[in-house]
């Protein structure tokens, strides 16, 4: 039997997420017919290697998507808004990681471990959620099915790579300066990020929440198909390069014991349990880099709520947080015959 192979486009191929797309595609034995790499015009003409084969970076044009089956978008909201309609019109299925279409009613917002069924009625465009949302819903999904979630309080510890390579450069540069006794002027972030934490991720709304906090709440409700889940979040940037952490306090309809939660999560898709405080075993960002799994630890009863659990959830924000999730969406589309 001939296995069908697919023509894939990566839009934003030179960014941190673009690079992660390439790593994940190489690792997963994806049925690739060809890869088309797109980047800003200043990178056009340069070459990258995928599976030891050279591929040239090209600038996006009106006809770029003619030979493409699946287009992965990670070049920011403006590029997505401009080129996704064109890609879809040319017959490609677009998977967007820019966040700009996630709350559009006709666009499925999908985490394959949680709501793959939402892919069925796609209209050429699927949104991959924000990184903070993905690790939250993967960690909570199987628990939510056992005892529906009423409320989530979550505070995040987010890596600078979520901002892209400029965020990583700023942290590195400022850190060196501070170690030399100098101070590093902020460019990418509103204040110094080296040896500091900033409770500002993305722009502020009028109600005092940031767009990041709002997305985390709205996206979680959409993915769980449950508008009644109450969510309160504070999103915080920390001086970590890769790996987002979340302190999560969940209130369920009925109590779940920590033991039951561990049993459920031990076999939950996409979850890896790392939970033995007696030997300081819990996830942390430095150990999460390169992991496909959402790592869960520090599961304990919420002593402040009869139906509550508290946990600590960490994931590679570039991998499962963006690139891997998008490629898993592509794999689901293929296996369901939806592309």
Q: Which of 23, 86, 90, 151 binds a second copy (CB under 8 A)?
A: 151
DSSP 8-class letter at 105: T
Count CB atoms within 10 A of the CB of residue 206.
5
User: Is residue 304 involved in binding a second copy (CB under 8 A)?
Assistant: yes
Residues 241-260 that bind a second copy (CB under 8 A): 241, 243, 245, 247, 249, 258
C-alpha 107/C-alpha 124 separation (Å) is: 9
Residues 6 or more apart in contact with residue 151 via CB below 8 angstroms = 229, 230, 231, 232, 250, 251
- For residue 21, the surrounding DSSP H or E stretch is helix 16-27
Q: Considering the complex, what minimum distance in angstroms separates the CB of residue 156 from a second copy?
A: 9
Instruction: State in angstroms the smallest separation of the CB of 21 from a second copy.
Output: 24
Stretch that binds a second copy, among 54-62, 79-87, 99-107, 240-248 (CB under 8 A): 240-248
Provide, rounded to whole angstroms, the least separation between the CB of residue 27 and a second copy: 23
Q: Which stretch binds a second copy (CB under 8 A): 29-37, 127-135, 235-243, 329-337?
A: 235-243
* Segment 271 to 300, residues that bind a second copy, using CB under 8 A: 277-278, 280, 282, 284-287, 297-300
CB of 108 to a second copy, least distance (A): 25
3-state SS record for 158-202: ECHHHHCHHHHHHHHHHHHHHHCCCCCCCCCCCCCCCCCCECCCC
Strand-strand pairing, 149-157 and 93-96: unpaired
Q: Which of 34, 175, 291, 307 binds a second copy (CB under 8 A)?
A: 175
Q: Using CB under 8 A, which of the segments 40-48, 118-126, 201-209, 263-271 binds a second copy?
A: 201-209
Strands 230-234 and 149-157: parallel
Question: Which of residues 104, 204, 263, 338 is near a second copy by CB under 8 A?
Answer: 204
For a second copy, which is the closer residue by CB, 90 or 305? 305
User: What span, in angstroms and rounded, lies between the C-alpha atoms of 74 and 80?
Assistant: 8
Cβ proximity of 38 and 59 under 8 Å: yes
CB of 198 to a second copy, least distance (A): 6
* CB-based contacts of 156, cutoff 8 Å, min separation 6: 132, 201, 216, 233, 234, 235, 236, 244, 245, 246, 247
CA dihedral 137, 140, 144, 146 (to 10 degrees): 140
Q: Does 312 bind a second copy (CB under 8 A)?
A: yes
* Choice from 236, 255, 274, 292 touching a second copy (CB under 8 A): 236
CA 45 vs CA 32, 40, 48, 49, 296: distances in Å: 22, 10, 10, 13, 42
Roughly how many angstroms between the first and final C-alpha of the chain, as a whole number?
19
Alpha-helix residue ranges (DSSP H) falling in 128-283: 131-146, 165-179, 211-224, 258-266
By the rule CB under 8 A, 207 interacts with a second copy: yes
Q: Indicate whether 303 belongs to the interface with a second copy (CB under 8 A).
A: yes
Of residues 40, 67, 155, 165, which one binds a second copy by CB under 8 A?
A: 155
In the complex, least distance from residue 84 CB atom to a second copy, rounded to whole angstroms? 30
| Beta-bridge partners for 210 | 204
Q: Among the candidate windows 9-17, 89-97, 108-116, 205-213, which touches a second copy by CB under 8 A?
A: 205-213
Q: Which residues of the shown chain bind a second copy in the complex (CB under 8 A)? A: 151-153, 155, 157, 171-172, 175-176, 179, 190-192, 195-200, 204, 207-209, 217, 230-232, 234, 236, 238-241, 243, 245, 247, 249, 258, 277-278, 280, 282, 284-287, 297-305, 308, 310, 312
């Amino acid at each position: 039997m001939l296995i069908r192979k697919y023509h894939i486009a990566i839009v934003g191929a030179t960014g941190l997420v673009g690079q992660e797309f390439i790593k994940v595609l190489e690792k997963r034995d994806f049925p690739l017919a060809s890869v088309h790499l797109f980047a800003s015009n200043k990178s056009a003409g340069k070459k990258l290697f995928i599976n030891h084969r050279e591929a040239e970076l090209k600038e996006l044009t009106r006809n770029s998507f003619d030979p493409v089956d699946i287009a992965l978008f990670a070049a920011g909201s403006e590029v997505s808004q401009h080129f996704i309609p064109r890609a879809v019109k040319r017959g490609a299925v677009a998977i967007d990681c820019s966040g700009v279409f996630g709350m559009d009613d006709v666009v499925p917002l999908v985490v394959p471990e949680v709501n793959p069924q939402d892919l069925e009625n796609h209209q050429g465009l699927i949104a991959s959620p924000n990184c903070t949302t993905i690790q939250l819903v993967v960690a909570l999904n199987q628990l939510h099915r056992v005892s529906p979630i009423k409320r989530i309080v979550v505070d995040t510890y987010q890596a600078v790579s979520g901002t892209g390579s400029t965020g990583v450069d700023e942290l590195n540069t400022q850190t060196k300066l501070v170690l030399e006794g100098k101070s590093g002027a902020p460019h990418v972030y509103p204040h110094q990020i080296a040896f500091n934490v900033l409770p500002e991720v993305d722009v502020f709304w009028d109600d005092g929440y940031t767009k990041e906090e709002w997305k985390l709440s709205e996206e979680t409700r959409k993915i769980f198909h449950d508008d009644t889940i109450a969510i309160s979040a504070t999103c915080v940037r920390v001086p970590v390069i890769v790996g987002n952490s979340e302190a999560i306090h969940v209130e369920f309809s009925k109590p779940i014991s920590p033991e039951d939660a561990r049993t459920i999560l031990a076999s939950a898709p996409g979850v890896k349990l790392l939970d033995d405080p007696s030997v300081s075993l819990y996830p942390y960002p430095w150990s999460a880099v390169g992991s496909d799994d959402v790592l869960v630890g520090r599961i304990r009863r919420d002593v402040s709520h009869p139906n509550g659990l508290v946990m600590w959830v960490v994931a590679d924000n570039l991998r499962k947080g963006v690139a891997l999730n998008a490629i898993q969406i592509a794999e689901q589309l293929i296996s369901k015959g939806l592309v």
